[in-house]
Structure 1
Amino acid sequence: MQAYEFINNLIPPLKVTDNTKKALAWMEEIRINVLPVVDDTQFKGLITDDLIYTLNDPTLKVGDIETEGIACFVYQDKHIYDVLRVASEHHSNMVAVLDRDLKYQGVITMEDAISAFADSFSIQSQGAVVVLSMFMTDYSMYEIARVIESENAKILSSFISVDPLDDSKIKVTLKLDKTELRHIKATLERFGYRIIDHYQEENEPDKEQDRIGNLLRFLDI
């Protein structure tokens, strides 16, 4: 799941010689509110419709505008995880993709990134989600996996985030290959793990809704 696999080829980059009128026309046509800016093959940042409307000059060249998100990019061989991380850090719905020579390759939207997760095996596979809270110093995926595997279950994927209720701790979100959590929860608690949330699949769920629901619960967004 490398970044270059999810480049959206329908989103063209603006050249520094393009004017803001053209930028707004493209945004309206593509139905998007942000576009990348390039100078030859060099990524120069992102420009939004809000910024253009604020400047209120349709003849202004894109290259004369101070763009946003000059560091909002990932290398093309990075994992899709990094795309979401960079997007979150820059509060952006779009991330540029560059090669190792810093040449612009394209962009990935958050819709593309979320779709990539939703289509992944670990998200689509049936299974429950369990969320643990712990200090970072107590975190060991090896130990957590050992406990879970003692109940004949496997961890399909995991996600770590800061616990919003206690910033000294982390939340460890685990997608398992089992739909029944009763014995797994009891074993985790017996080994001292604090479970702060869990999600079990219902019988005969709506497949599309379940797919998106699993993803959002996993990413906790």
Structure 2
Amino acid sequence: MQAYEFINNLIPPLKLSDKTGMALAWMEEIRTDILPVVDQGNFLGLIREEMIFDMNNAEKLISEVQLDNQMCWVYSDKHIYDVLRVGAEQHSNVVAVLSRDQHYLGVVTMEDSIAAFADSLSIQSQGSVLVLSLFMTDYSLSEISRIVESENTKVLSSFITSDPLDDAKIKLTLKLDKPELRHIKATLERFGYKILDHYQEESGISGEEDRIGNLLRFLDI
């Protein structure tokens, strides 16, 4: 799940000597609105379609454009989570990937990152999703897993998000391998856990669009 594994080789880098008109042609060809700019193997930033349109001069060189997102990059050995984090912080649909000696290797798209993240969370597996609210000091995944497993259910994956209403609390999202949640919810509540929400998936759901859609829904809790 390292960044270099998800480099999209269909997105080429621009050079400073390239013209903005060529950049627009490439964007149209590969159906993107953003491209990386590289000089002698060094990542310089990103150029966006709207920036070129604002200039209204297809003959201008890339070197004459003030580039965006000079810090929109990760090292090649960083986890795909870091790609998602940097992309979100930089408000960019692509993130550059650099070697440890700062050499440009390529870019990873947010679409590919989300698909990889969905795989890591077992989104494609049938089951259900449960969202708990608890204090960080009370968090013990091993204890929660033990309770879930007492109902003959497995925790396939989990992740934590902060509670915007209470800094001391977290939201714990669990992906479970069983669609039926009634007994699990009752057992967790008996042990004092507060359940915020749940999603019971229907059988037959498949495909990349459904998986990514489910992931985004789960993250937007």
* Superposed pair shares fold, TM > 0.5: yes
What's 1:109 paired with?
A: 109
**Distance in 2 between residues matched to 1:201 and 1:93, nearest whole Å:** 29
* 1:115-136, Cα deviation, whole Å (9 max, x unpaired): 2234457121111101112333
What's 1:158 paired with?
A: 158
The answer to which of 50-59 and 66-75 deviates more is: 50-59
Report the residue type matching 1:205 in the other structure.
G
* 1:129-188, Cα deviation, whole Å (9 max, x unpaired): 011123333333233223223323222111222334x15233221111222111211122
The answer to which of 140-149 and 190-199 deviates more is: 140-149
What's 1:34 paired with?
A: 34
Aligned residue for 2:122, secondary structure, equals helix
Shift of 1:195: 1.0
What's 1:140 paired with?
A: 140
**Distance in 2 between residues matched to 1:167 and 1:34, nearest whole Å:** 38
Shift of 1:78: 1.6
**Distance in 2 between residues matched to 1:52 and 1:190, nearest whole Å:** 60
Counterpart contact for 1:175–1:218, Cα < 8 Å: no
The answer to which of 130-139 and 102-111 deviates more is: 130-139
Report the residue type matching 1:152 in the other structure.
N
Report the residue type matching 2:206 in the other structure.
K
Shift of 1:36: 0.5
Corresponding pairs, count: 219
Aligned residue for 1:108, secondary structure, equals strand
What's 2:219 paired with?
A: 219
What's 2:85 paired with?
A: 85
Counterpart contact for 1:159–1:219, Cα < 8 Å: no
**Distance in 2 between residues matched to 1:206 and 1:145, nearest whole Å:** 26
Report the residue type matching 2:191 in the other structure.
F
Provide TM-score, normalisation by structure 2: 0.89
The answer to which of 205-214 and 14-23 deviates more is: 205-214
Matches within 5 A, 1:1-221: 1-120=1-120, 122-164=122-164, 166-168=165-167, 169-202=169-202, 204-208=203-207, 210-220=210-220
Counterpart contact for 2:14–2:38, Cα < 8 Å: yes
**Distance in 1 between residues matched to 2:150 and 2:71, nearest whole Å:** 44
Unpaired runs of at least 5, structure 2: none
**Distance in 1 between residues matched to 2:145 and 2:102, nearest whole Å:** 39
Aligned residue for 1:158, secondary structure, equals strand
The answer to which of 140-149 and 102-111 deviates more is: 140-149
Counterpart contact for 1:75–1:100, Cα < 8 Å: yes
Shift of 1:10: 0.4
Q: 1:8 to 1:185 in 2, by over 3 A?
A: same
Provide TM-score, normalisation by structure 1: 0.89
Aligned residue for 2:60, secondary structure, equals coil
Shift of 1:2: 1.6
**Distance in 2 between residues matched to 1:135 and 1:50, nearest whole Å:** 45
**Distance in 2 between residues matched to 1:62 and 1:113, nearest whole Å:** 28
**Distance in 2 between residues matched to 1:134 and 1:61, nearest whole Å:** 55
Unpaired runs of at least 5, structure 1: none
